[in-house]
Amino acid sequence: MTIAQNIIQDFRMPTVFRVGVGAFTTLVKEIEELGAKKVAIVSDKGLEKVGVVQKVLDHIKPLSIPTITYTEISGEPTFQLLKEAVLTIDAEKCDVIIGIGGGSALDVAKATAALCGKDDITSYLNGEKVVKSRAVKCILLPTTSGTGSEVTMNAIFGDEEQQVKRGIVSPVFLPDVAIIDPELTISCPARVTAASGVDAFTHAIESYIAIKATPLTKVYSEKAMKLFPSNITRAVHNGNDLDARTGMSWVSSLAGVALANAGVGAVHALAYPLGGKYHIEHGVANALLMPFVFEVIGKTCTEEMMEVASFLQLGDFKSQPSEALKAVVDYMYQLLEDLDLPTSLSELGIEEDSLPMLAEQAAKIDRLLSNTPYKLNEQKILGIYQSAFKGRVGN
């Protein structure tokens, strides 16, 4: 493994990072310790419907702290929705925000906590300014495994005008407390379990080969990859399997820490335009594009592909290193089939003549492309979209 010598990097995590079955019950203690006077619960419509929001309300009721709920999120959030959330919650003068949900609700919760009390929030949303401080405390509880949003410094929103998805980044997006309880993911539907689970795997593998990866971030990426194969299929096909759900909670949070500190790369860069224009779920877009992107970029990281093949128990490729990439890419394709995820862009209703526009947008996402150990230009990106449009030849 080559270690980049020119990278000096901080390593950040939430102040409290708690994982385990039953961890949810420590929420009351955390709210008390943060000295909450008024609490906002931020979640989405789906979680309200399955009773998760009520579960939080019931749990914190004995505290008798004034509480509001914000559950206007449906689908992946936009900057417009974030502005509305900040306006609503800021007006209530809450001093603790509890985000509970998948990446969508958690991103709204953490960005709202950071933006409450700020003037001119548009300048933070368009990237002119970075949020440097946060007056409102923040507790995040994921219900998918997952985006890792509870342990990252990113929050991702749809830009309706530009029809793209864009991340805003700040160290203060890390919550005060991340509580990762596998039981909260039991009700997660199979398709979301599959898509968000493969999203977590994407975080692990992309952070592992990232330009900004360090020996420390690689420990997290590696462990996430090792835990993934034995848990993902069981979690998708038997949602009540708490053992598999626990495994996936670890995959997601370990991969999230790696993503937060090493970043991700080209798979995410190509996935964002699909979310912006076609509203394809983030996890589905990543899962589908991953084999097609790795077929191209994996050629420059043979050693890492051999290591990844070993983490995934695909075999020992020391005597034939070039075969490791093929084995890893085959595994990625097979995942799509095993988890009932779409296998081509055409299947998702993407129009072939929009591929050049998608390539033009993806080629602009330098933050991610420059973190990938293979230089992808617009032409090469278009080639990847064209392959993904057709799907795997021979399938």
Ligand X SMILES: NC(=O)c1ccc[n+]([C@@H]2O[C@H](COP(=O)([O-])OP(=O)(O)OC[C@H]3O[C@@H](n4cnc5c(N)ncnc54)[C@H](O)[C@@H]3O)[C@@H](O)[C@H]2O)c1
Residues at the interface with ligand X (CB under 6 A):
44, 46-47, 50, 76, 101-105, 107, 143-144, 146-149, 152, 154-156, 165, 184-185, 187-189, 192, 196, 199, 282-283
User: Cβ closer to ligand X: 56 or 305?
Assistant: 56
Task: Judge contact between 344 and 387, C-beta under 8 A.
Answer: no
Q: Tell me the CA distances in angstroms from 11 to 134, 151, 226, one per residue in order.
A: 19, 12, 22
The DSSP symbol for 23 reads G
User: Cβ closer to ligand X: 10 or 353?
Assistant: 10
Minimum separation from the CB atom of position 331 to ligand X (A): 21
Minimum separation from the CB atom of position 302 to ligand X (A): 28
Minimum separation from the CB atom of position 326 to ligand X (A): 28
Minimum separation from the CB atom of position 64 to ligand X (A): 27
Minimum separation from the CB atom of position 114 to ligand X (A): 12
Q: Tell me the CA distances in angstroms from 300 to 122, 149, 307, one per residue in order.
A: 40, 29, 14
Residues 6+ apart with CB under 8 A from 394: none
User: Cβ closer to ligand X: 163 or 187?
Assistant: 187
User: Cβ closer to ligand X: 58 or 316?
Assistant: 58
User: Cβ closer to ligand X: 144 or 343?
Assistant: 144
Longest dimension (CA), the chain: 65
User: Cβ closer to ligand X: 234 or 392?
Assistant: 234
Minimum separation from the CB atom of position 280 to ligand X (A): 11
Residues 6+ apart with CB under 8 A from 105: 42, 43, 44, 47, 73, 99, 143
User: Cβ closer to ligand X: 14 or 101?
Assistant: 101
Give the number of other Cβ atoms within 10 Å of residue 30's Cβ.
Answer: 18
Give phi and psi for 16, each to the nearest 5: -115, 130
Question: Residue 328: is it exposed, middle or buried by C-beta count within 10 angstroms (0-12/13-18/19+)?
Answer: buried
Minimum separation from the CB atom of position 108 to ligand X (A): 9
Residues 6+ apart with CB under 8 A from 42: 69, 70, 71, 73, 85, 89, 97, 98, 99, 100, 101, 105, 108, 109, 112
User: Cβ closer to ligand X: 156 or 362?
Assistant: 156
Minimum separation from the CB atom of position 256 to ligand X (A): 7
Distance CA 16, CA 122 (A): 30
Task: Judge contact between 76 and 105, C-beta under 8 A.
Answer: no
Residues 6+ apart with CB under 8 A from 332: 290, 291, 294
